[in-house]
């Protein structure tokens, strides 16, 4: 069965389903770069491929199915997150009904951590991919017959007898430059935008992935790309950003890696490449980092290279909880890094979690107070979700504390969605309490007079005025409702 068509699908999930009706206007519509990388890899090997981003195009399941090519030798790949699982279930049922001979392949973080269970819960699917999908999808697209699935590493598949078979894992790709740039020309680029807190102005800000793998052991992370840091060459990264500037006229990018600053030599070379190429004068960039992987010299170099914002995962204001989740940092380190970053002229987004295992209400309030003390420009407060594949999930499941396996409930914005069930609640706490705290955290952080004045002074455009006003109004309304 030599594939004449491969179609990669980002399932139809709306912003309201992800963030709730009140917060949906502030949510991101991100490029499905995992699919775009696979598509670029297949195109480079002359395998016909298309991408249907149903989320970005706001397509229904029926519309997605109607766009599938009328060929018997069809391979359909669907990216699957835990939060999109229900949408993928429905999509697979409809694809199977319309294309009974298609090979339906599921990939993404959820499948990487629960490959057998995913096939059991979605009987219409034929294959789940574990880990990186580029080489795996190439082999699947070139199968002469489904009986050859047993020879494809990195997958689980359904045998002719209906039994789920797990093949050996596929080694990670060591030289990332062997993967062509993502096939962005197959995406509806005009539909994408990051959250308002990650962009400067209203222009399109594409994401460029420069490395894979994280060596740290935080209990809430699954590390599906392994613990070894693997990076693109600086030449490849610079060339890709130059192509983005030329093709899409961008003046900002989001530089993505599991942990961008973990390897100082790489970060220094990246900054030098951006400066030597002159890109630091043409674009500015945002990234994510850990507070224990930067220093004053690095931050100053990042600023010279065009970095305007860093997002730090603070998680909690309790040292006990930091140790419990194996974060490997101290509250003093957090404070010191925030001071250094601000001194370097780089703004900060802080990520905070509410409802960690064993967390008390007093510790939740301490986290909120700590966020105010650190005073990043932006703060995000999410309700803790123990995702499959994480140490946190395994420990809570072993102790019988996972409340639901309805994957659609695994949403960190459940406080704004009005969920009646969530996968985990610390002992002695309740869902309404955590939901109210999530809203309260944003209100007490952003509705301080000094913070409001800070945003007033940052206004540079009508777009800024609109996004700030809408945000403050949503927070005010949540307070009036007594949340």
Residue with tokens 């800024």: 464
The whole-model pTM stands at 0.94
Nearest to 206 by CA among 56, 31, 348: 31
| pLDDT reported for residue 224 | 87
Nearest to 403 by CA among 417, 416, 384, 418: 384
CB-CB contact of 207 with 199 (8 Å): no
Determine which helix (DSSP H) or strand (DSSP E) holds 158, and give its type and residue range.
strand 155-158
Residue with tokens 């406080």: 415
User: How many whole angstroms separate alpha carbon 480 and alpha carbon 483?
Assistant: 8
SS3 (DSSP) at 273 = helix
- The DSSP call for residue 185 is G
Q: Which residues pair with 350 in a beta bridge?
A: 312, 379
Q: Are strands 347-354 and 307-315 parallel, antiparallel or unpaired?
A: parallel
Question: 193-480 has which fold?
Answer: pyruvate-formate lyase- activating enzyme (3.80.30)
pLDDT tens digit sequence for 217-239: 999 998 889 889 999 999 999 99
Nearest to 385 by CA among 81, 22, 33: 81
Q: Give percent of the chain with pLDDT exceeding 70.
A: 98
- Compute CA distances 225 → 78, 136, 137, 257, 265, whole Å: 19, 14, 17, 11, 21
| pLDDT reported for residue 483 | 53
CB-CB contact of 313 with 357 (8 Å): no
In this predicted structure, the answer to whether residue 18 has a pLDDT above a threshold of 90 is no
User: How many whole angstroms separate alpha carbon 121 and alpha carbon 329?
Assistant: 39
**Mean pLDDT of the region 181-205:** 89
For domain 5-166, give the CATH superfamily: Cobalamin-binding domain (3.40.50.280)
Helices (H), 1-130: 15-19, 33-43, 54-57, 61-66, 85-98, 109-113, 115-121
Nearest to 185 by CA among 27, 353, 35: 35
| pLDDT reported for residue 2 | 40
| pLDDT reported for residue 160 | 80
pLDDT tens digit sequence for 301-336: 999 999 999 999 999 999 999 999 999 999 999 999
pLDDT tens digit sequence for 354-405: 999 999 999 999 999 999 999 999 999 999 999 999 999 999 999 999 999 9
> If DSSP states are collapsed to H, E and C, what string results for 335-374?
HHHHHHHHHCCCEEEEEEEECCCCCCHHHHHHHHHHHHHH
Beta strands in 226-362 (DSSP E): 230-231, 252-256, 284-289, 307-315, 347-354
Per DSSP, the chain holds a count of helices (H) and strands (E) of 19, 15
Tell whether the torsion through CA atoms of 376, 380, 386 and 387 is positive or negative: negative
Rounded to 5 degrees, φ, ψ at 252 are -155, 150
SS3 (DSSP) at 399 = coil
Structural domain spans, the chain: 5-166, 193-480
């Amino acid at each position: 069965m030599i594939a004449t068509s491969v179609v990669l699908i980002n399932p139809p999930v709306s912003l309201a389903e992800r963030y709730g009706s009140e917060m949906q206007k502030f949510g991101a519509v991100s490029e499905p770069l995992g699919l775009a990388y696979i598509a670029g890899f297949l195109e480079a090997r002359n395998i016909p491929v298309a991408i249907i981003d149903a989320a970005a195009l706001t397509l229904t399941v029926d519309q997605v199915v109607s766009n599938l090519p009328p060929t018997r030798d069809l391979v359909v790949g669907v990216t699957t997150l835990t939060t999109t699982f229900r949408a993928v279930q429905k999509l697979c049922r409809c694809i199977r009904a319309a294309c009974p001979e298609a090979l339906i392949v599921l990939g993404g973080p959820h499948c990487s951590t629960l490959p057998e269970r995913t096939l059991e819960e979605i009987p219409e699917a034929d294959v789940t991919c574990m880990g990186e999908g580029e080489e795996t999808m190439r082999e699947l697209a070139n199968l002469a017959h489904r009986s050859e699935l047993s020879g494809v590493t990195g997958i689980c598949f359904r045998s002719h007898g209906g039994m789920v078979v797990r093949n050996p894992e596929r080694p990670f790709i060591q030289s990332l430059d062997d993967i062509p740039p993502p096939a962005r020309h197959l995406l509806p680029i005009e539909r994408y935008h990051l959250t308002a807190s990650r962009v400067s102005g209203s222009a399109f800000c594409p994401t460029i992935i420069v490395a894979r793998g994280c060596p740290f052991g935080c209990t809430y992370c699954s590390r599906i790309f392994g613990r070894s840091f693997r990076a693109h060459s600086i030449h490849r990264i610079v060339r890709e950003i130059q192509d983005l500037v030329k093709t899409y006229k961008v003046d900002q990018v989001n530089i993505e890696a599991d942990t961008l600053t973990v390897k100082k030599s790489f970060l220094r070379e990246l900054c030098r490449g951006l400066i030597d190429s002159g890109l630091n004068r043409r674009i500015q960039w945002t990234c994510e980092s850990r507070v224990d992987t930067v220093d004053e010299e690095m931050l100053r170099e990042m600023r010279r290279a065009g970095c305007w914002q860093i997002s730090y995962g603070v998680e909690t204001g309790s040292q006990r909880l930091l140790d419990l989740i194996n974060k490997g940092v101290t509250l003093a380190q957090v404070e010191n890094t925030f001071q250094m970053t601000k001194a370097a002229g780089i703004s900060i987004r802080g990520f905070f979690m509410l409802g960690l295992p064993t967390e008390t209400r007093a510790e939740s309030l301490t986290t909120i107070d700590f966020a105010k003390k650190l005073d990043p420009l932006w703060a995000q407060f999410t309700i803790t979700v123990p995702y499959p594949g994480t140490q946190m999930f395994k420990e809570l499941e072993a102790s019988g504390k996972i409340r639901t396996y309805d994957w659609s409930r695994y949403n960190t914005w459940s406080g704004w969605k009005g969920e009646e069930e969530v996968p985990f609640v610390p002992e002695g706490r309740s869902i309404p309490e955590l939901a109210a705290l999530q809203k309260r955290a944003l209100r007490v952080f952003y509705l301080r007079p000094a913070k409001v004045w800070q945003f007033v002074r940052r206004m540079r455009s009508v777009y800024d005025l609109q996004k700030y006003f809408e945000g403050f109004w949503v927070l005010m309304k949540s307070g009036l409702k007594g949340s």
